[in-house]
Structure 1
Amino acid sequence: MLNKVSKIGTENLNDFLLSSLEVQVSMMQQHLDICKIFANTLLSNEVDSLAGSKYSHEKPLEGRYSRWGHNPGSVKVGGQRVPIQVPRVFDNQDQKNVSLESYEQLRKAPEQAESMVQSVLHGISMRDYQRTAETLVGNFGISPSSVSREFVAQSAAALEEFQKRRFEENEFVALFIDGKYLAGQQMIIVLGITGKGQKIVLGITQTATENHRPILELLTDLIDRGLKFEEGILAVIDGSKGLKNAIEEAFGDKVIIQRCQWHKRENVVSYLPENKQEEYRKKLQNAYSEEEYEVSKAKLEAIGKEIKSINDSAQKSLLEGLEETLTLKKLKLNEFSKSFSTTNCIESLNSQVGKFTRKVKRWQTGDQRLRWVVLGLLESETRMKKVSNFENLQKMQQKIKSEIENRINSSKNS
């Protein structure tokens, strides 16, 4: 067990381990968060040595120093400024604030080389947490001899716990799964929606295409970490066969798939002559706008007959997976169409990541792609708002649960 580390207006190692951290995107995200928490904990430990633990009546140095709030600050990690909260300490004897030596050391630390990033990631992946903690000490310009073995041990234990964080505390009603194409590689992102409408980036994997195997491994890892789906979960996807196969293998009969209506519409019109595309784009949109499942399906099938004479492939594209584009209508959940009938929710996130990755002029390695995509996710996730109509998501949960139960009972009786 870690010794208790007091919280000084921000998260530190112990607070971080006890908190409900719901974002799991990649090892690089861990690197950034670990650096931030490492710095917070170093500052917190110095405050403890001067003013004592936050709620302790035992004060060192005859009570000379007192806690005095905190100020915003930052440390430089991998070429960017990472914000932290810097504790303030007041010298009761000299009647003035005192600077923290550890913060001065962090501020003067040389810019970390790429080798430090790779060393941290390698240490985490190999579960060599003590070496990772020692790497952070040295690369932040701090002499290893100036910190205690206890601190290194605490950091190592925290990294290990961080790597094993779980999702049991969250109840997810839906997953959006989509790929961001970047320099010849697909970055597959899983975005979870909680029963309270919160958007949480759960995971990311890198693959050449939307391939079944790496996506399955990603989903299996999320399940191993406590992603619950036993009462059913909605998966919103663009229609990729690799995605669908991986989802059905991972979640079995407990998943309901909603195919993106926007992707379906655009795929269909792409087969048509340019002078026909806008006409049928509007027709398809009108059909999907119908409230009743039967009416919407009938209109779509009628459109299919129309376009068969124009392009047979267009009709095949429309009819392929058509039922899954109408999932919400079939469940009588039209009030959630704005957020869950398309992949716009995750497309918006991908768009924000795209703005971030435009800063890169030349892509060199897979690690570079992953690093920049994750940095973009970190930058974007703080701006994500709750999904529309989140107040009524309990209705969606109940409908999904009932549909899963009906499926299972039908399967037993057949």
Structure 2
Amino acid sequence: MKSYQKAQKPVKGNVKILDEQVLLETASEGLLSLSVELGMEVVRQLLEADVTTLAGEKGRHDSGRTAYRHGSEHTKVVMGGEKREIRRPRVRSKDGVELSLPTLTAFQDEEPLNQAVLARLLAGVSTRKYAGSRELKDPDAACISKSEVNRRFVKELSSLMEEFFNRRIDGDYPIMMLDGMAVGKMTVIAAMGIGRDGRKRMLGLSAGGTENQAAVKELLTDLLGRGLAPDRPRLFVLDGGKALHKAVTDTFGKYAVIQRCQVHKKRNVQDQLPKSEQTNVGLALSRAYLEHDYDKARRALEHIADGLENRYPKAAASLREGLEETLTVHRLKLPGLLRQTLSNTNAMESANSVAASVLKRVKHWKDGEQILRYAAAGFAEAEKSFRRIKGYRQIPLLLEALYHELDMPAQHGTKIA
């Protein structure tokens, strides 16, 4: 067993069952109960192996031994996401110094316990109900009180937030999506990057009183400081907020190509209409955006705006505002599947919904730092289910179109299909 611990190899095929009846009786209480019981026995045997290594075989004289057994004492090890009691053998050197046991050090690492607490609370378990959520009902298990669980949860959240905000931004992200989400009296602004391989990654967060330009610029400045290249042509998919738009163009200048979300545009127009008109106008807008040709799509949208002008001038004005930027994917002549993906912020909205499911568990926010801790945890949770965007194989065509749009030659090391 010791050799497996050192080599970190799987033990499949190397474990022999001597008494099946005993195992079946324990297994009747649940597979996790059996696993933990077996795990605790393995720890006991590993501890004894450590003692033998340090002090030699028990009961056998060894004139060259440098340490000796010194009884045992109660201690705790982490097993099954909880702390469990075990008796640890003690070893002292000839000059009376207590010697550490490698196995005990390994199994007293509390990171698995902290991760178990974080996972359960992010899944919706409250600190009050944490003890009752455990599959094993061991009355001797430690670290399950409300205060202890809360302390470990806050510690893990802080650690996760620090990692999230300090990780380097390596590689190129030719596509970025930015969006704001109201949390309490503040707004969390999130940035998602999409790499050349189509993989999504949360790049950063910031929080402000509203979705204002200062908060967005703070986020973008942080991204640049962590490695995001400022001088690469990049498609920014935004929801149409003026603060987002201005901060992006101010920060990235000519390298920023803006695509306004068509879904948000459609929603904004419908909000200016009576309910009796919303469905028909919504369908007309959808048909216009489905036009593959840029000129045809633009004419169709202008025709809709002209039709709304007399009866619903606010709806017509809403449609005309930023209309050109809702057709950027048409102007760049992107293929159908990639065009459909990048015409809206749905990918960002999906990540927002996962983060919101974590954020909604807090009813009263203390400050912006607490909001960012939970937001970082929520978006980190969202990242676990990220997949490549639809149409990712067509991203080289987007790169070619972006460089052509800005009349720029491909930079050294940039592969254009």
Which residue does the alignment assign to 2:105? Answer: 101
Instruction: Using the TM superposition, give the Cα deviation of residue 115 of structure 1 relative to its aligned residue in structure 2, in angstroms.
Output: 10
Q: Which amino acid in the other structure matches residue 266 of structure 2?
A: R
Distance 1:63 1:299 in 2: 87
Change (3 A) 1:299 1:259: same
Q: Which moved more, 1:375-384 or 1:360-369?
A: 360-369
Which residue does the alignment assign to 2:369? Answer: 367
Map 1:98-247 → 2, pairs under 5 A: 99-104=103-108, 106=110, 111=148, 117=154, 165-168=167-170, 170-247=171-248
Instruction: Using the TM superposition, give the Cα deviation of residue 164 of structure 1 relative to its aligned residue in structure 2, in angstroms.
Output: 5.5
Provide, for residues 173-212 of structure 1, a one-character-per-residue CA deviation record: whole Å limited to 9, x for no partner: 1000001112121110000000001100000000121111
Q: Which amino acid in the other structure matches residue 103 of structure 1?
A: F
Q: Which amino acid in the other structure matches residue 372 of structure 2?
A: L
Instruction: Using the TM superposition, give the Cα deviation of residue 369 of structure 1 relative to its aligned residue in structure 2, in angstroms.
Output: 2.3
Which residue does the alignment assign to 1:38? Answer: none
Which residue does the alignment assign to 1:386? Answer: 388
- DSSP 3-state at the match of 2:292: coil
Which residue does the alignment assign to 2:264? Answer: 263
Q: Equivalent of 1:347, from 346, 349, 364?
A: 349
Matched, 1:323 2:324: yes
Q: Equivalent of 1:397, from 396, 399, 412?
A: 399
Whether the 8 Å CA contact 1:231–1:254 is kept in 2: the answer is yes
Instruction: Using the TM superposition, give the Cα deviation of residue 280 of structure 1 relative to its aligned residue in structure 2, in angstroms.
Output: 0.2
Instruction: Using the TM superposition, give the Cα deviation of residue 120 of structure 1 relative to its aligned residue in structure 2, in angstroms.
Output: 9.7
Which residue does the alignment assign to 1:309? Answer: 310
How well do the aligned residues superpose, as a CA RMSD in angstroms?
3.5
- DSSP 3-state at the match of 1:228: coil
Distance 2:330 2:233 in 1: 17
Q: Which amino acid in the other structure matches residue 303 of structure 2?
A: A
Instruction: Using the TM superposition, give the Cα deviation of residue 260 of structure 1 relative to its aligned residue in structure 2, in angstroms.
Output: 0.2
Distance 2:109 2:194 in 1: 41
Whether the 8 Å CA contact 2:165–2:204 is kept in 1: the answer is no
Distance 2:157 2:283 in 1: 52
Map 1:43-82 → 2, pairs under 5 A: none
Instruction: Using the TM superposition, give the Cα deviation of residue 75 of structure 1 relative to its aligned residue in structure 2, in angstroms.
Output: 6.0
Matched, 1:295 2:302: no
Whether the 8 Å CA contact 1:304–1:318 is kept in 2: the answer is yes
Q: Which amino acid in the other structure matches residue 258 of structure 2?
A: I
Whether the 8 Å CA contact 2:196–2:396 is kept in 1: the answer is yes
Distance 1:379 1:166 in 2: 19
Distance 1:74 1:248 in 2: 51
Whether the 8 Å CA contact 1:231–1:404 is kept in 2: the answer is no
Q: Which amino acid in the other structure matches residue 179 of structure 1?
A: G
Whether the 8 Å CA contact 1:176–1:192 is kept in 2: the answer is yes
Instruction: Using the TM superposition, give the Cα deviation of residue 232 of structure 1 relative to its aligned residue in structure 2, in angstroms.
Output: 0.3
Q: Which amino acid in the other structure matches residue 276 of structure 1?
A: E
Whether the 8 Å CA contact 1:272–1:310 is kept in 2: the answer is no
Change (3 A) 1:367 1:305: same
Provide, for residues 79-122 of structure 1, a one-character-per-residue CA deviation record: whole Å limited to 9, x for no partner: xxxxxxxxxxxxxxxxxx98433433625668366599589969
Whether the 8 Å CA contact 1:259–1:325 is kept in 2: the answer is yes
Instruction: Using the TM superposition, give the Cα deviation of residue 238 of structure 1 relative to its aligned residue in structure 2, in angstroms.
Output: 0.4
- DSSP 3-state at the match of 1:204: strand
Instruction: Using the TM superposition, give the Cα deviation of residue 392 of structure 1 relative to its aligned residue in structure 2, in angstroms.
Output: 2.0
Q: Percent identity?
A: 31
Distance 2:267 2:158 in 1: 40
Provide, for residues 313-354 of structure 1, a one-character-per-residue CA deviation record: whole Å limited to 9, x for no partner: 111110110000000100101421221000001001111122
- DSSP 3-state at the match of 1:226: coil
Q: Which aligned segments of 4 or more residues in structure 1 are displaced greater than 4 angstroms?
A: 6-9, 60-64, 72-76, 107-110, 112-122, 162-165
Change (3 A) 1:342 1:7: farther
Distance 1:323 1:290 in 2: 14
- DSSP 3-state at the match of 1:339: helix
Instruction: Using the TM superposition, give the Cα deviation of residue 269 of structure 1 relative to its aligned residue in structure 2, in angstroms.
Output: 1.1
How many positions carry a matched residue from both structures? 291
Q: TM-score, normalised by structure 2?
A: 0.62
Distance 1:113 1:272 in 2: 48
Q: TM-score, normalised by structure 1?
A: 0.63
Change (3 A) 1:224 1:63: farther
- DSSP 3-state at the match of 1:189: strand
Change (3 A) 1:297 1:114: same
Change (3 A) 1:263 1:307: same
Q: Which amino acid in the other structure matches residue 376 of structure 1?
A: G
Change (3 A) 1:303 1:211: same
Distance 1:172 1:219 in 2: 13
Change (3 A) 1:324 1:8: farther
Q: Which has the larger radius of gyration?
A: 2
Instruction: Using the TM superposition, give the Cα deviation of residue 372 of structure 1 relative to its aligned residue in structure 2, in angstroms.
Output: 2.1
Q: Which amino acid in the other structure matches residue 303 of structure 1?
A: I
Whether the 8 Å CA contact 2:335–2:394 is kept in 1: the answer is no
Q: Which amino acid in the other structure matches residue 403 of structure 1?
A: E
- DSSP 3-state at the match of 1:172: coil
Whether the 8 Å CA contact 1:258–1:325 is kept in 2: the answer is yes
- DSSP 3-state at the match of 2:176: strand
Q: Which amino acid in the other structure matches residue 104 of structure 2?
A: L
